[in-house]
Structure 1
Amino acid sequence: MPGSRDANIALATRYYEALAAGDFDALAALHSEDVVFNLVGSTPVSGRWVGKEECFGPLVADNVVGKLVPETVQFSRQWRIMCADENCVVGIMRGGGMGVNGHEYIQTYCQVMTIRDGKIAELHEFFDTALVELALNDNPTVRGPSTPARPFEF
């Protein structure tokens, strides 16, 4: 059942605030039990992840946060809601930490959240897959990362 645009913006705001605070229990509570995460690319974290247990266990805890130095982790260092309606919110955020392999992982994410019954029911997430491979999987590209001449701003 669709919610209101304002309620969905409030939910997305709580999502980004929980990430900024590192409160993954509060973050998980914002998702439906059968949530689906769809992650771009062909990395070990890419693909379709189904259910809160799988999404917040093997995916988030093990394959992202677990590969970062704990005291450096802060997601939602910067975030912005780009658009919203009664079914969906699109947001963008920057955050991360230092990889345990010594590579910095400050990622920019675009999230498309489908909201049902006041919970995030599905998430499509877009991010720099080369950075995931380097900092989280210790799998650098041949040339390594480059700094864009015109950095992305939001």
Structure 2
Amino acid sequence: MSESTNREIVQSIFAALAEGERQPFADAMAEDFSWTIAGRGPWARTWHGKRAVRAGLMTPLFAQFADTYRNHATRILCEGDTVVVECRGSVTTRSGARYDNQYCYVIDLADGKMRALTEYMDTALAETVLSPPA
């Protein structure tokens, strides 16, 4: 895909996330998609495969939220098949705590699908506010 097409794919995913719609993100994952959270602590790991990402990360994470999670992109940079997104996510957890984190996602695309995502975030905040994934 072209650089502009890759940018458009990611822009549309994050436009949906800003409205609390997660399905476009899930639809854009390739079957062999991998998601790595960089850093230390219980959140820092890699999930391999779309099914593992959904079952091991997304489902348990979103189950902790009391309302709609929104993620707003503040900057999107693209070079070839790699798109970098700076963004801010916010939600209230079921325990009543605020989970407002900043992220940088490095997303690799192929054939119009996300193949890999490396996430940089405040893992200490995640560890403090959220229950870790199993």
TM-score by length of 2: 0.89
Q: Give the letter for the 1:65 counterpart.
A: F
For structure 1, which runs of at least 5 residues remain unmatched after alignment? 139-154
More RCO (CA 8 Å, sep 6+):
2
For 1:126, the equivalent position in structure 2 comes to 120
Count of residues in Structure 1 that have an aligned counterpart in Structure 2 = 132
- Write out aligned runs for 1:1-154 (5 A): 3-62=1-60, 64-69=61-66, 71=67, 73-81=68-76, 83-137=77-131
Query: Contact 2:20–2:70 at 8 Å: present in 1 too?
Result: yes
**Structure showing greater Rg:** 1
Supply the distance in 2 between the matched residues of 1:57 and 1:123 (Cα, whole angstroms).
16
Q: Deviations over 1:61-101 (max 9, x none)?
A: 21x211111x2x332234320x2122100011101211222
Moved more, 5-14 or 129-138: 129-138
RMSD between aligned alpha carbons?
1.6
More strand as a share of residues: 2
Supply the distance in 2 between the matched residues of 1:42 and 1:128 (Cα, whole angstroms).
10
Sequence identity of aligned pairs in percent?
Answer: 28
Deviation at 1:114, TM superposition (A): 0.5
Deviation at 1:53, TM superposition (A): 1.1
Q: Give the letter for the 1:36 counterpart.
A: S
